[in-house]
Amino acid sequence: MVIFTKSSCCISHSIETLIRSFGANPIIYELDTHPNGKQIEKALMELGCHPSVPAIFIGKELVGGASEIMSLNVRGKLKQLLIRANAIWV
């Protein structure tokens, strides 16, 4: 599981906190401090991430941004997705 963020983005921090609350340990890339951050951000936007962060990949699949993660969580499907991707164990 990978989350692309920016260090100044409070929504990214909230999504990271939510994901970690399930016991997942995502890899975090902060684009504003990463040496290739601008190129990665451009690639994320080309994949359809608007805004570019947070961008969440679970099990090699782009799940989307904050609204998609929150929607999955509200519908009770986020935990199932994390389990299927082996991002958490129960």
Q: Is the pLDDT of residue 51 over 90?
A: no
Phi then psi dihedrals of residue 55, to 5 deg: -120, 125
Task: Provide mean pLDDT across the span 48-65.
Answer: 92
CATH code reported for the domain at 2-84: 3.40.30.10
Q: Where are the domains of the chain?
A: 2-84
Per the DSSP assignment, residues forming a β-bridge with 56 are: 3, 64
Q: What is the 3-state secondary structure (H, E, C) of 23-61?
A: CCCCEEEECCCCCCHHHHHHHHHHCCCCCCCCEEEECCE
The model's confidence at residue 81, banded by pLDDT at 50, 70 and 90, is very high
| Prediction pTM value | 0.91
Q: What is the pLDDT of residues 11-49, one digit of tens each?
A: 999 999 999 999 999 999 999 999 999 999 999 999 988
Q: Is the pLDDT of residue 90 over 90?
A: no
